Chains A and B, each alone.
Chain A
């Protein structure tokens, strides 16, 4: 019940296109949903996060869409750039446990 399933495993997008990564969770008690970006050889960095009381959050070119009834959330990267090429991880957290459960990651490649 602690799983977070992420898809696709890899994604190739043309420069200027929209990248969409999806995650699904099982535990309805999760109350924090962050996305992390990781470049090779580096640790993950927090990109954007959402709580379940809102359906969408936008920061620049990055948007999280959240569907509580479907237990799904997604990351949309608008106007994708080659510099966005990285691995993206979704995660879900339970505040009382102070732990994050991570998805398996999506390797995004943005072609110039």
Chain B
């Protein structure tokens, strides 16, 4: 289908390693969001991209977290020197434009486990 695609679906890595998570948004969607969902909890906003504008990074929890997006295409979320508290599902969403009343379409997430 033409939904939001995230890869990998699962990632297990050792503490201290770097990980890179990928998000392919729906074609034509200019806005892209990353969220973190810890077990049994709600979604925490991480970062927001809108077209070629500077991203809103206000939700990134530390300087170990970074994200990039080229134009209106693929985005990657990178976590450096992973810690056990980084274990969570990382969700990506895209919307037609960066307005709240435009539905955010979510991918199925990457389940990250830090040993």
| Residues of A bordering B, CB below 8 Å | 4, 6, 31-32, 41-46, 49, 51, 89, 91, 93-95, 97-105
Instruction: Check if B42 sits within 8 Å of A102, measured CB to CB.
Output: yes
What 6 pairs across the A-B complex have the smallest Cβ distances? A43-B106, A102-B42, A93-B100, A32-B100, A102-B43, A46-B103
Instruction: Check if B42 sits within 8 Å of A89, measured CB to CB.
Output: yes
| Residues of B bordering A, CB below 8 Å | 4, 31, 40-45, 48, 50, 56, 58-59, 91, 93, 98-101, 103-104, 106-109
How far, in angstroms, from A94 to B48 measured CA to CA in the complex? 14
Instruction: Check if A43 sits within 8 Å of B101, measured CB to CB.
Output: no
B91 touches which one: A6, A43, A46, A105 (CB < 8 A)?
A43
- Since A44-B106, A98-B50, A100-B43 are in contact, a sample of 17 more A-B pairs with Cβ atoms closer than 8 Å, ordered by chain A residue number, is A31-B100, A32-B101, A43-B108, A43-B109, A44-B91, A51-B101, A91-B43, A95-B99, A97-B56, A98-B31, A98-B98, A98-B100, A100-B104, A102-B42, A102-B44, A104-B40, A105-B41
Pair count A-B, CB < 8 A: 57
How far, in angstroms, from A42 to B6 measured CA to CA in the complex? 11
Closest chain A CB from B82 CB (angstroms): 22
Instruction: Check if A98 sits within 8 Å of B91, measured CB to CB.
Output: no
B-side interface mostly? loop
Between B98, B100, B107, the greatest number of chain A beta carbons within 10 A of the residue's beta carbon is seen for B100
How far, in angstroms, from A98 to B47 measured CA to CA in the complex? 10
Closest chain B CB from A96 CB (angstroms): 9
Q: A98-B99, A100-B100 are in contact. Are A105 and B106 (CB under 8 A)?
A: no
Jot down 8 A-B pairs with beta carbons below 8 A, ordered by A. Answer: A31-B100, A43-B108, A44-B91, A44-B106, A46-B104, A99-B59, A100-B104, A104-B40
